[in-house]
């Protein structure tokens, strides 16, 4: 049967399983199940992997190093998934945001942030979020489901598609860094996130060095140590408060794993990975931005190899907070920096298209909330 017939048959497509997100052993098992001789399975799996992740193929017919009959058999049972781009927006500062829809019609937002010396994709790991952080727009969404490994890594691939960066270029490329800071808590979708990032880091795959990948967590303490062992990527921790009573309100997961337990895990992570832990701290006017807060932050992280990212609060409709004034942010940063910890103030990017930190919320969820309020 012709490959075009497979692609045009929507019913058959729904029944076929995706190839993106599969590990090498899984690809080998698929080929073996299709009747590929055992002696050639490892070679064919390497070729298939190369086409998927080095060349970004979206059509099995283009994989010309695979025999035509094998491509036919693959097309009968499997497909190459890319999420559907429902909408794309470009900020006045060049930041790009995509609304992506998966096969079950669930949606997430993915952001690309260009800079002169790098380009960063911010990817999501869940549809919605269960953590209800009070300063975060995504936290006002319910958790719908976890993303699968293929749905996570395919967000990176969509950006590569948009930038025309296939096959994987050598040397400098516009998309150079990954931050797992989009919708959802990655450590509450641990196995799928690890599987996706292993594909991203694979030298024969998407080839992102681990030093160029950062995973952000709100503080799922039991998984932090495992993340260091399994991935060893940069760790960013959403701290945002220096007292448990305030952090309980801003980041409710603190009620389960408080500041003391979180910082102990961060101390261990920094020691075992020999990398600085980044503490993310959103600046909320009159809430967590005093000189006393800055001095207590310095005391709390003493002895941890760390830097502190100060994040001006990015407003969203009906948000209960205001951003700290620039002079207050500067005074806070100076106290932290004098203690020996880098304290850069993050430049807000993409705020005009709600692509900035803490602003992600899918258009479908905005429409649902608007209809309920009407």
Query: Which domains, from first to last, does the chain contain?
Result: 3-79 (1.10.150.530), 84-373 (3.20.20.70)
What Cα–Cα distance (Å) separates residue 59 from each residue in 63, 65, 79, 148?
8, 13, 8, 21
Predicted pLDDT at 374: 46
What is the per-residue DSSP string for 328-342?
A: HHHHHHHHHHHTT--
Query: Is residue 373 predicted with pLDDT exceeding 80?
Result: no
pLDDT tens digit sequence for 344-364? 998 875 455 454 454 445 554
**What are the tens digits of pLDDT across the range 23-66?**
999 999 999 999 999 999 999 999 999 999 999 999 999 999 99
Q: Report CA-CA distances (Å) from 76 to 1, 5, 10, 21, 26.
A: 9, 10, 12, 19, 17
Question: For position 173, what pLDDT does the model report?
Answer: 85
Mean pLDDT confidence for 108-115:
94
pLDDT of residue 140: 75
In this prediction, residue 349 carries a pLDDT of 58
In the prediction, which pLDDT does 141 show?
Answer: 83
| Residue 227 annotated in active site | no
pLDDT digits (tens, 9 = 90+) for 286-325: 999 999 999 999 999 999 999 999 999 988 788 889 999 9
Q: Exactly one of 129, 185, 357, 365 is catalytic; name it.
A: 357
Catalytic residue among 36, 107, 109, 192: 109
109 catalytic residue (yes or no): yes
Give pLDDT tens digits for 252-269.
999 999 999 999 999 999
* Residues 176-198, mean pLDDT to the nearest whole number: 97
The burial class, CB within 10 Å (0-12 / 13-18 / 19+), for 364 is middle
Q: What is the DSSP letter of 252?
A: G
Phi, psi values for residue 121, rounded to 5°: -105, 130
């Amino acid at each position: 049967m012709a490959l075009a017939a497979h692609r045009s048959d929507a019913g058959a497509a729904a029944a076929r399983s995706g190839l993106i997100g599969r590990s090498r052993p899984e690809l080998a098992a698929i080929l073996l199940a299709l009747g590929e001789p055992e002696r050639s399975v490892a070679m064919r799996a390497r070729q298939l992997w190369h086409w998927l992740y080095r060349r970004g193929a979206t059509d099995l017919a283009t994989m010309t190093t695979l025999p035509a009959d094998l491509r036919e058999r693959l097309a009968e049972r499997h497909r190459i998934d890319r999420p559907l781009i429902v909408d794309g927006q470009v900020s006045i500062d060049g930041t790009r945001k995509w609304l992506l829809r998966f096969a079950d019609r669930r949606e997430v937002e993915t952001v690309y942030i260009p800079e002169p010396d790098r380009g960063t994709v911010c990817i999501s790991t869940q549809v919605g979020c269960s953590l209800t952080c009070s300063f975060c727009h995504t936290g006002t969404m319910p958790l719908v489901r976890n993303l699968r490994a293929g749905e996570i890594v395919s967000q990176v691939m969509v950006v590569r598609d948009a930038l025309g960066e296939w096959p994987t270029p050598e040397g400098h490329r516009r998309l150079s860094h990954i931050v797992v800071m989009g919708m959802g808590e990655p450590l509450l979708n641990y196995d799928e996130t690890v599987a996706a990032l292993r594909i991203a880091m694979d030298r024969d795959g998407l080839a992102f060095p681990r030093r160029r990948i950062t995973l952000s967590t709100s503080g799922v303490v039991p998984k932090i140590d495992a993340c260091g062992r399994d991935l060893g990527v940069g760790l960013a921790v959403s701290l945002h408060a220096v007292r448990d009573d305030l952090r309980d309100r801003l980041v409710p997961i603190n009620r389960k794993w408080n500041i003391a337990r979180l910082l102990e895990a961060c101390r261990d992570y920094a020691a075992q990975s020999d990398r600085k832990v980044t503490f993310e701290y959103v600046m909320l006017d009159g809430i967590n931005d005093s000189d006393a807060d800055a001095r207590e932050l310095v005391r709390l992280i003493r002895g941890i190899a760390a830097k502190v990212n100060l994040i001006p609060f990015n407003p969203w409709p009906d948000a209960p907070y205001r951003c700290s004034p620039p002079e207050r942010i500067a005074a806070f940063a100076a106290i932290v920096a004098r203690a020996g910890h880098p304290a850069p103030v993050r430049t807000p990017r993409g705020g005009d298209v709600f692509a900035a930190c803490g602003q992600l919320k899918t258009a479908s969820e905005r429409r649902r909330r608007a209809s309920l309020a009407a």
